[in-house]
Structures are given as C-alpha cells and as structure tokens.
Amino acid sequence: MTQSVQRRMATGAIWMVLFKLVERGLGLISTLILARLLGPSDFGIVAMALSFIAMAELLTAFGFDVAIIQTQGATEEHYNTAWTCNVLLNLGVTLLMLAMAVPIADFYHKPEVAWVVCALAFGPLISGAENIGVVAFRKELDFRREFRFQVSRKLIGFMIVVPLALILRNYWALVIGTLVSKTAGTAISYLMHPFRPRFTLARLRELFNFSRWLLFNNLIGFFKERSSDFVIGRMFGPAALGSYNVAYELAHLPSSEIGAPINRALLPGFAKMEPQDVGNAYASALGVLAILTLPAAAVIFVVAPYLVPVVLGQQWLSAVPLMQTLAFNGALLLFHASIGAVLMGRGFAGRVSVANASYVVVLAVMLTVLAPRFGVVGAAYGVLATTVIATPIYLYQIRRGLGVGAMVFARAIARPLVSALLTVLLLRWAMPAYDTGMHFAAVIAWLLGGMAAGVLVYGALVMGLWTLAGRPQGAERAVMDRLRGFATERFGGRFMRRRQA
C-alpha cells in the first residue's frame, strides 16, 4: 500500500512540475510583454489592491479542500458543505472590499487604487463558486486530470491578458486578466468534473474541527508572504513595490515552479501513508526538492544582472539586487513548505501554525529594523534573514510531531547545497560584471551561456559528490529512476504501440 502511494506521489509530483513548467512558460511570455508595455508603478498599483484583497480573503481561508483530502471517509455532504461555505464566505469578502475601496486608496495616498480594488473585489466571489468536485483529483492522486484542469485555466487567461496588454497598455490589463483567469478556472472546473454542488451546511462542524487550524495557519501565512508589501508600499510607493514584487516572483521561480507542485503532491500522499514510513519518504522527497531547486536558485543569483535587462528592460534594473537577495530565500521557503505539507498531511496543522507565527514575529522585527535604514533592499535583507532564523523552528516542529530529526534534513540537502554554492562561486569568477554599455547581443550571450554553464557545472558537481560518497541510495538515484520510469511510461509505451501497429 505504502509503496503504491509513494509511486503515485512521485508520478503526481512529475505531473505537477510539468504543469508548473507550462504555466511558467506562459507566465514568462506574459511578463515579457507586460514589463515592456507597463512600468513598475503599474505593477505596484495592482499589488497595493491585491494585498488588501488577499488579507480579506483570509476570512475564507478555512482550507476546506485540505480538510476533505485529509478526511479519508469524505462523503458528498462534505463536498457540498465545503462549496457552500466557500460561496458564502467569498461573497462576504466581495462586499467588504467594495465598502473599503476608498479607505484602502487613502492608506496608500493613491486615488486610482480605489477603482482597482472595486474591480478585483469580484475575484474572490468568482473563485469561491468553483466546483469543489475537482478536489477529488488530488484526493485520489489523479494528478493527470489535475494537470489538465490547471493548464486549461492558465492557457485561457494567457490568451486574454496578452491582447489586453497590447490594447490597453496600463494596469487595467493586469486587472482584467486576473478576473478572466479566475472566471475561466471556475467554468472549466464544472466542465472537467461531473459533481454538481448544492447548498448545505450539514457537515460544517466536522469540517471546521480540522479547518479552524487551517484558518489560523492561512492567516499567519498571509502575513508571512505579504507583510513586506504593506511596508514597502506604504514607505516607498508603488514603483518600489512593483520592482520588489517582480523581483520576488522571478527569484522564487525554483520554489513556485518546481517545489510548490511537488509539495502539492506530497500533502495527499502523506495523508494516505502508514506512520512508520513517513520518515524515509520525507527524507527522499526533501532530497529531490534540494536537487531540483537549489541549482535554480544559484543560477538566478548569478545571472540576475543579465536576466533583468533582457527579460524586463533597463527600467527594471533596480530589481537586480532584490532578485539576488531573494534567490536563496525562495529555496529555503520551499523547505518550510515541504515541512508544512508533511505535517498537514499527518494532521498536525497546529504545529505548522506555530512555526508560521514565529516566522511572522521575526519578520516584523527585521522589516522594522532594516527597511527604514536600507530601503527596499533592506526589506529583502529582512525577508532572507527571517527565513534563515526561522528554519530551525520548522525543523523542531517536525521533530516533535513526527520524530524526524534535523540530521535527516542536513543529510538530504548537503550534497545539493555544497554543489549549488560551488556553482555560484565558479560562475561569479568566470562571468564579467554587467555593464549598461554592453551590446545587447553580448548580454543575451552571457545570460544564456551562464544558465547553460550553471546547469552543467552543478550537474557535474552533484554527481561527483554522489560518486565520492559511494553512490548511496538517496535523492540522486531517486531522481534518475523516476525520470527514467516516467520517460519509459510516456514514450516507450507509445513507441511499442507504434511498432505493433
């Protein structure tokens, strides 16, 4: 049973990574167009509105989908109750944001933010009406259908926002694109799953017993991710906030595009696993995450001075130091998320809440001390310092909850971490410092060459260290075996069918 679950988790992780790669491909093309047509202030205005809307959405953040996944005997009434709660709670958020639009604009001293808030206020209601039946894709570990669902909604949003950017050439392209993407997701959810929810609150108490911790955890998680937005937007204005948010997004590509989908597969998998097998499975998953994400963070750190002018344009050069500071922060946050996914899957939501609350307290101190003194870069320093300081807290929680010690974490990431750091040193030594007087073709050449060299150097280093260690069972072997098995399943079977035909 457990081996079957682990195989389905591994296959599901590959599907989720594939989805993120497709999504990021669309997202990068969209960002390229938007960054060329819009400025940091446009992104900042939308971020100002979204910060408050996201805070209001915390009122709906009971995580009923996670409660259904964690509840092994979930019935149709559980699904109906979860959908009813989502609709009612998100309707409340929409009405609240419509009432608060002007005060929010006054907070930032930007009148135009009020209209943006009014438009984006309908996003929560649209998302809240999504068909709760699609949660079954993850609960049943059917990640192929989950992949199709997620890609379809993103593709439609991309097909709308790009023409809008070319026509409008202002922040309204971002606003309308966000609403269209949410509408597409809700419509597709009903097309892809036959479940048709109805209004009922029959299982409210049962779901709430688990979800109350998720509400608190999501509340803390919001401040973990968004505290810097309030500080930067209030102190330095929309242009600084826009630069920070774009830098944050690009710097966190390893965690958002590779790690997050893997963690998405971990939660339902660990919920089904036998207790005695959790430790080994967690160590394996952690090692795989480290191998895939640490080199990506290392390469982003090195090529950021070339990446920003090529991808975003010269007007975004202020984002370079932010991106470099936040690159390894994204990788560390990924490990926090993996610990949270395991604890959630095993029913220890309270421990995740404690760890996240500790993070927020440290973050508040760091932002208060560093942002006024060092500006926007100081806020980035504060975020990175907080993530480093809080990591032992997360390790303590998983040790207390599941008996998995810190040495499991250290052994899992040791070879990937050393390889990533050596890759940074070698590339920084080999590549020249970026100069605004460089020919654009040379900048592109150094960018592509640096990325390719980073992958090759890291691959050689991690395989060399693994060989020196005697090629033990671990993440390196697991990655190769999973990729080989996935390729054989996807392409080998197709080749054999063609031969037989």
Tens-binned pLDDT, residue by residue, of the chain (501 aa): 444 444 554 444 444 445 555 555 565 566 666 666 666 777 778 878 877 777 666 655 556 666 666 666 667 777 788 788 888 888 888 898 898 888 888 888 888 889 988 998 898 888 888 877 777 666 565 556 666 666 666 777 667 766 776 777 677 877 887 888 788 888 888 887 777 888 877 776 766 665 566 666 666 767 777 778 778 877 887 778 878 877 887 787 666 666 555 655 565 566 666 666 666 777 777 777 788 788 888 888 888 888 888 877 777 888 888 888 888 888 888 788 778 777 876 777 778 878 888 898 899 899 889 988 888 889 999 999 999 999 999 888 888 877 777 787 888 888 888 998 999 999 989 888 888 778 888 888 888 888 899 889 998 998 888 888 887 776 777 666 666 665 565 555 554 455 555
Query: Which long-range contacts does 258-261 make (Cβ < 8 Å, 24+ apart)?
Result: 258/17, 258/20, 258/289, 258/292, 258/293, 258/296, 259/289, 259/292, 259/293, 259/331, 259/334, 259/337, 259/338, 260/20, 260/334, 260/337, 261/13, 261/15, 261/16, 261/17, 261/19, 261/20
Alpha carbons 33 and 410: distance in angstroms, whole number: 41
Alpha carbons 323 and 310: distance in angstroms, whole number: 14
Alpha carbons 321 and 301: distance in angstroms, whole number: 9
- Report helix angle 406-430 to 349-402, nearest 10: 100
pLDDT attached to residue 269: 61
Alpha carbons 349 and 347: distance in angstroms, whole number: 6
Alpha carbons 305 and 317: distance in angstroms, whole number: 8
17: left (phi over 0), alpha (psi -120 to 50) or beta: alpha
- Within the chain, what is the greatest distance between any pair of CA atoms? 70
Q: How far apart are the first and last CA of the chain?
A: 35
> Which two structure tokens, joined as six digits, stand for 325?
């500071």
Q: Are 357 and 220 in contact (CB under 8 A)?
A: yes
Locus of tokens 């927020």: 360
Which value, in Å, is the radius of gyration of the alpha carbons in the chain? 23
pLDDT attached to residue 385: 92
Amino acid identity of residue 231, one-letter, is V
Q: Are 185 and 177 in contact (CB under 8 A)?
A: no
pLDDT attached to residue 145: 65
- Buried/exposed code over 193-215 (b: 16+ C-beta within 10 A; e: otherwise): bebebeeeeebbeebbebbbbbb
pLDDT attached to residue 207: 66
Q: Are 306 and 447 in contact (CB under 8 A)?
A: yes
pLDDT attached to residue 447: 87
pLDDT attached to residue 30: 62
Is 115 buried (19+), middle (13-18) or exposed (0-12) by CB count in 10 A?
A: middle
Q: In whole angstroms, what separates CA 160 from the centre of its chain?
A: 23
Q: In whole angstroms, what separates CA 499 from the centre of its chain?
A: 41
Alpha carbons 314 and 463: distance in angstroms, whole number: 38
pLDDT attached to residue 425: 92
Alpha carbons 163 and 246: distance in angstroms, whole number: 21
Amino acid identity of residue 332, one-letter, is L
pLDDT attached to residue 422: 93
Q: Are 150 and 210 in contact (CB under 8 A)?
A: no
